Amino acid sequence: MPRVFKAIDIEKEEKEIKRDYLDRHMPHIICDDEVRKGEKFKVKVRMGEEYVHPDDPDHFISVIQLWNRETLLAETRYTAGAYGNKPSHFEVDFYIVAPAVNMNLSAMAVCTKHGLWQSEEKQVRVV
């Protein structure tokens, strides 16, 4: 069973000490707070706020997933070098159609060296 690093579980002190390490591995969901039922909308998942992640042959972000509660909606995969072997904010835009009920989105990301990371949850109201 892999350990999942979650934004919510990380203590404030640990956040200060390992700020760069934590930041570069944390996926963030960027989308509207409110969307219309049946309409397509964009959900951006971006790694890190301040710090970029390496794109080395043995150390890169290999997978980014988008979840709605327990359902995997979409995922993307990278190979090493997709970002030119330069540190970068790995990011992807997913386009999904809003279902009939409110959504509780989260993102997961895999670093080939540092494991599995889960974003904070993002509530999306469907009207």
Q: Which is nearer to Fe ion, 6 or 114 (CB)?
A: 114
Total chain residues near Fe ion (CB under 5 A)? 3
In this chain, which of 114, 116, 121, 126 binds Fe ion, going by CB under 5 A? 114
* Least distance in angstroms from the C-beta of 89 to Fe ion: 13
Q: How far apart are CA 4 and CA 102, in angstroms?
A: 25
* Least distance in angstroms from the C-beta of 62 to Fe ion: 10
* Least distance in angstroms from the C-beta of 54 to Fe ion: 7
* Least distance in angstroms from the C-beta of 72 to Fe ion: 22
In this chain, which of 45, 111, 118, 124 binds Fe ion, going by CB under 5 A? 111
Q: How many CB atoms lie within 10 A of CB 56?
A: 14
Q: CB under 5 A: which stretch of 35-43, 66-74, 103-111, 116-124 binds Fe ion?
A: 103-111
Q: How far apart are CA 25 and CA 49, in angstroms?
A: 10
76 within 8 A of 91, measured Cβ to Cβ:
no
Residue type, 10: I
CA 116 to chain centre: 10
Cβ-proximal residues to 112 (8 Å cutoff; 6+ apart), any chain: 58, 59, 60, 61, 62, 80
Residues 42-101 binding Fe ion (CB under 5 A) are none
Q: Which residues bind Fe ion (CB under 5 A)?
A: 111, 113-114
